[in-house]
Amino acid sequence: MSFVAETDSSMVEALTDALEALTASTGAGSGETLGGHKDSLWKKENRVSIKLITDMETLQEHMTLLQASQRADLELTKNAILEVYMRMGYSAENAERLALSGGIYRVSVDIYAAYISLHLHLLSLALKSGFPSAKLELDYHIKKLVALRKRLPSRIQVMMGNYTYLRDLMHSGWSCLALELIHRKAIQSSMAAMNPPAPGAAPAPGQGDGSCGWCTSCIHGMFQSQAACPWRRLSKTQAKRAAREAVLGVAQGNLPGAAAGDDG
């Protein structure tokens, strides 16, 4: 796989136009010098390679392949950019200097680093909490990357969309509110299956899903009164935050300790 990506350099229009023409080539002409790879199917969702990951074994295999191909892919990317500069009239020496120092190559390197970081995160999560927990996040990322590929009108924009998506999540530690909610719902479903309400028991008003009226979670039990909440001495905002952190800890395989505000 090749992670050719573009950025908003000072020569963005001329450079991206030239690169787009080369990467879209399907004949034996100018595209031949790009290593013979003619990708005219970039909009297909099966180009999101992490869709091939279905279990712990394929996750490990994908990670191994990614690390093994990193050097060759980035070399191919550098050569593609070098070819563009040379066709624009630069000497081979200046073209290589511009290729290595320019935004396109730097973004390509960063995409690879972020993609490897994502795999390491998923592997760590799978080892701590089991592959099903990692699969929740994997499916989320697949959905987002497929949506980017379908929505954006050119391959260059798709590459930049992938870059910003992976960069931002990597900087946040591969955590966001949407992922937190996914783990929370999974835990709630699991707890509901293990602790169904007693026959004929009526939930408290506004708590039809069995969540606590104070911290709004189910992590300390289904259909319990607010008095049973371990964070009842905190404000509602603080209690919600504490419950969310506890849910994340459980999702990552860490049992939560005594809650702040508990009678202990």
Distance between CA 13 and CA 2 in Å, rounded?
Answer: 22
List the chain domain ranges. Answer: 12-172, 180-251
**119 residue type, one letter:** H
pLDDT confidence band for 260 (50 / 70 / 90): very low
CB atoms within 10 A of CB 173: 9
pTM (predicted TM-score): 0.61
pLDDT at 53 over 90: yes
Q: Give the relative orientation of helices 56-87 and 103-129 as an angle to the nearest 10 degrees.
A: 180
> What pLDDT is stored for residue 47 in this prediction?
78
Helices and strands, counts by H and E, the chain = 8, 0
Alpha helices per DSSP H over 24-154: 56-87, 92-101, 103-129, 131-151
Please say whether the beta carbons of 38 and 26 come within 8 A.
yes
The per-residue DSSP string of 185-199 comes to HHHHHHHHHHSPPPT
| Range name among 125-134, 136-145, 183-192, 255-264 with the lowest pLDDT average | 255-264
Query: Distances from the Cα of 63 to the Cαs of 28, 59, 70, 157, in angstroms?
Result: 33, 6, 11, 25
Q: Which two tokens stand for residue 88?
A: 């624009």
pLDDT confidence band for 208 (50 / 70 / 90): low
| Range name among 22-26, 50-54, 79-83, 96-100 with the lowest pLDDT average | 22-26
> What pLDDT is stored for residue 197 in this prediction?
54
DSSP state of 175: -
Distance between CA 127 and CA 109 in Å, rounded?
Answer: 27
Q: What percent of the chain has pLDDT over 70?
A: 66
Please say whether the beta carbons of 217 and 234 come within 8 A.
no
Query: Distances from the Cα of 33 to the Cαs of 11, 37, 84, 162, 240, in angstroms?
Result: 22, 9, 10, 25, 57
pLDDT at 179 over 80: yes
Query: Distances from the Cα of 148 to the Cαs of 40, 53, 112, 156, 159, in angstroms?
Result: 17, 19, 17, 12, 9
> What pLDDT is stored for residue 214 in this prediction?
81
> What pLDDT is stored for residue 42 in this prediction?
62
What is the rounded average pLDDT of the residues 15-34? 47
Query: Distances from the Cα of 217 to the Cαs of 192, 202, 243, in angstroms?
Result: 12, 18, 6
**131 residue type, one letter:** F
Place of tokens 């697949």: 142
The pLDDT tens digits for 240-258 are 888 887 776 665 555 443 3
